[in-house]
A and B are shown apart, each in its own frame.
Chain A
Amino acid sequence: MSILEGKKVVIIGDRDGIPGPAIAECAKTAGADVVFASTECFV
């Protein structure tokens, strides 16, 4: 079982790394409940 299975997940992506929606798609396939996902810009 995935460590994210059934867990509520908050995702902060990085526009120059992995953006939020991409992480969210991965997390969902691992059974996570994505309660918030956004991408931030750090530059």
Chain B
Amino acid sequence: MNSVIKGTGYVLVHVPDMIIQNGTTQTAERAAHPDSAYLKSLPEHLRTYEDALSYWPNQIYIGNAHPEELRQVPFPYFREKKEGAGRYGTFGEIMPENEFLLLAQASDVFDVVKLEKEFVAATRDAFAADPVISAEIAGRVAAGTDITDIDAYVRAGQAEPLFVDGKLVGCVKSAHDTDINLSAHVMHENIMSKASSVLALLHAVKQSGVDAGDIEYVIDCAEEACGDMNQRGGGNFAKAAAEIAGFSHASGADVRAFCAAPVHAMIMAASLVKAGTYKTVAVTAGGCTAKLGMNSKDHVKKECPVLEDCLGGFAVIIAANDGVHPEINLDLVGRHTVGTGSSPQAVITSLVAEPLERNGLKIPDIDIYSPEMQNPDITKPAGAGDVPMSNYKMIAALAVKRGDIERKDLADFVEKHGLIGWAPTQGHIPSGVPAVGFACEDIMAGLIRRVMLIGKGSLFLGRMTDLFDGVSLVIQPNSGGQEETGVSEEQVRSLIARALKEFAQSLTGETRG
């Protein structure tokens, strides 16, 4: 039986101080042009927590509005405020920076996160009031350190500073004197990824209703690498986050494939569960501090707020078929292979058309496509265009080329089968997976039947290959928890099509023996 999706967690963490301190656009600029006009004006373009909270795309991400509602919001979205916006949504929350630093410390097991005493005292109650933060997690936060000690670590170059509202409140120390893979910079990046993964896992467990003790395996699909000088990407974020989240019966491992990794990980999780290896698997990813403010030079230049001000995280709980929840159909997995080629047409053919054709389906048979769901509010001012729209146009063009739709219906196809992007540009976070929460709700409500997630990854950025990557999967309604014994109409269509093709080949003598 197919595996099912029991629930999802989607979290954002508003971290304006980390934009300035840790985003690579900013750190590179500070190294090259420390007095640049851009760096000087950057703080004026940072949003408050309240502004980030009432931002429509953020509210959609945590489940307080449906992606379809974004069609009615005037562009640019940052000029509009969502009425009734809240910190918590159906799938998760938007955590403020001060509380997140306490979660970062709770996620640290090597005593590298130091927080100032008064800051901890002032923030602890709010942190502990978060409904997913258990007393055990809150209890991991230490009483605090003198600010003079923290300042000394930072001044000595032994620590990455942690600020809230521009004030030094803590630091992340290096975990080794000489190992660059355990430097303060790397430890900061990894702990923030781990902590946001923990938060996503906690919300996914809450939303799915599964017992944390029932999760047997965790797959982390973020883009960071943890290890020391002898194994730079040794891992294992998954098990490390599972420990803090209280998954005492879980093991885990990391999957890395750039932005394609979440869909790779979901396919692996669904396969592990379908094979009976594990009954319940969590797929998770924390956020990426390096990408904070990635396009902020253009945002500042065009007098937009710096919209890349949140770390993103997500988690999906995949379990054995319960006869209720939506299934992951592993017969409909698409993949970009080594030999596929890099043209957009070849990529979309391999990810979309091929798995559908193999199963007797056409491109319009998928109700909703979820490719890369980057928020165009972020990408358009930066000249990167509307990424989801580019994907939809290519899928629609392929549908026209294959005769699945008429050319005149191309625009309608894009609107009917597409969504407007709402995800932050956190690399792996927007890649296919933001739609899982809504897809499951809409499928269970009988509104749609099939959703295809498409994850695409820029492998060439690692300079190990020129290749692109991508995988896709389809989520569909539960078949009732029954083994499929009969033959569906689609399977009959597929069988007839295959028989006719073979018959035609036999007439032209092309049948291979």
Q: A18 on the interface (CB 8 Å rule)?
A: yes
Per the bound structure, the CA–CA distance linking A10 and B344 in Å amounts to: 20
Per the bound structure, the CA–CA distance linking A18 and B343 in Å amounts to: 7
Q: A3 on the interface (CB 8 Å rule)?
A: no
Report A-chain residues with C-beta under 8 Å of the C-beta of B37.
none
> Would you call the interface of chain B mostly helix, strand, loop, or mixed?
loop
Report A-chain residues with C-beta under 8 Å of the C-beta of B461.
40-41
A43–B468 CB distance below 8 A: no
A16–B343 CB distance below 8 A: no
A43 touches which of B343, B344, B374, B460 (Cβ 8 Å): B374
Distance in angstroms from A36 CB to nearest chain B CB is: 12
Residue on B nearest A37 in the bound complex, by CB: B466
Report A-chain residues with C-beta under 8 Å of the C-beta of B343.
18-19, 22
B372 touches which of A16, A19, A20 (Cβ 8 Å): A16
Residue on A nearest B388 in the bound complex, by CB: A16
Q: A15 on the interface (CB 8 Å rule)?
A: yes
Q: B156 on the interface (CB 8 Å rule)?
A: no
B466 touches which of A18, A20, A40, A41 (Cβ 8 Å): A20
Q: Given contacts A16-B372, A16-B384, are A41 and B458 in contact (CB under 8 A)?
A: yes
B interface, how many residues as a size bin? 20 to 34
The contact string, 1 if C-beta is below 8 Å from chain B, for chain A 2-19, is: 000000000000011111
Residue on A nearest B458 in the bound complex, by CB: A41
Q: B379 on the interface (CB 8 Å rule)?
A: yes
B460 touches which of A22, A38, A42 (Cβ 8 Å): A38
B468 touches which of A17, A38, A39 (Cβ 8 Å): A39
Report A-chain residues with C-beta under 8 Å of the C-beta of B372.
16, 43
Distance in angstroms from A14 CB to nearest chain B CB is: 8
Residues of A in contact (CB 8 Å), total 14
Report A-chain residues with C-beta under 8 Å of the C-beta of B425.
43
A16–B385 CB distance below 8 A: yes
The contact string, 1 if C-beta is below 8 Å from chain A, for chain B 385-397, is: 1010011000000
Per the bound structure, the CA–CA distance linking A39 and B347 in Å amounts to: 15
Residue on B nearest A18 in the bound complex, by CB: B344
Residue on A nearest B466 in the bound complex, by CB: A21
Contacts A15-B458, A22-B344 known; 6 new A-B pairs at CB < 8 A: A16-B385, A19-B342, A19-B343, A22-B341, A38-B466, A39-B468
Interface set of B (CB-CB < 8 Å, partner A): 341-344, 372, 374, 379, 382-385, 387, 390-391, 425, 427, 430, 456, 458, 460-461, 466, 468
Q: What would be 8 A-B contacts, judged by CB atoms less than 8 Å apart?
A: A15-B458, A16-B372, A18-B344, A19-B468, A20-B466, A39-B458, A40-B461, A42-B384
Interface pairs A-B: 8 shortest CB-CB: A41-B458, A42-B384, A19-B342, A22-B343, A15-B458, A21-B342, A39-B460, A43-B374
